[in-house]
Structures are given as C-alpha cells and as structure tokens.
Amino acid sequence: MRKSKKLESLSQTDAMETSQDKKFEKTTLDQIWGDTGAGKYTTLDENAYEQELIAMAKVDIQEHARKKGLVPIDNVTVLRARLLREFRRHISNYTKPAENKDKQIVSKEALKILAEGK
C-alpha cells in the first residue's frame, strides 16, 4: 500500500508564486553580511523599477544608463528594454531559490538498477 504524502512536503513545479517562494538562498559573502542587492537599483521589485523608467524623461534614462554601464542610445524603447534586462540579471544574482533539502528515500530495487550502470 502506498503511503500518502502530506501537502507541505510536496514541491511546486508550476512556477506559481507561493509564500515559500520568498525564501532565497544566500550565495555570496555580501548576502551573508546583509547585502540585499537593493543598493544598485534602490529596489528589487521589477514593476516598481519599470514604473520608475517610464516616469523618466529621455535625458534622465540616458544618464541612468550611463551610471549602470550601458551605452545610451537615442531609441528610448530599446534603452528601457536593455535597462530592464540588466535589472533582471542583477536580481537573478540575489534570488537563488532555497533548495528543499528533504532526503528522498530510494528503494533497494532502484539502487540495484542504478548500480548496474557502473
């Protein structure tokens, strides 16, 4: 007979956000010492940053791009897209999801099948 799993022990695979998704694993010493990554862009919320970019004038966006190390171009739409892409790249460095460290029990039969490949 199969043992039923509790809902809390199951992993989510549909990429929908839950309260557990707010837990992130610290990957650098700076993060361990308390750096959240918000210093470079003043926020970690993509929607807030996008609204900030929309509210900026062309000259302000170009100056912002210079400060972030991008070459400012004349096309504001493309420049906004580049800035958002750089923002997402920056955020991804600070938001590695914490792994579920639960040990999975492997049956003796499965171990025997895996051992045949050695």
| Residues 118, 112: Cα–Cα separation, whole Å | 11
Ordered per-residue pLDDT tens for the chain, 118 residues: 556 556 666 555 555 554 444 566 666 676 667 666 666 777 878 899 999 999 999 999 999 999 999 999 999 999 999 999 999 988 887 776 666 666 667 788 888 888 887 7
Q: Give me 103's structure tokens.
A: 């040990």
pTM of the model: 0.57
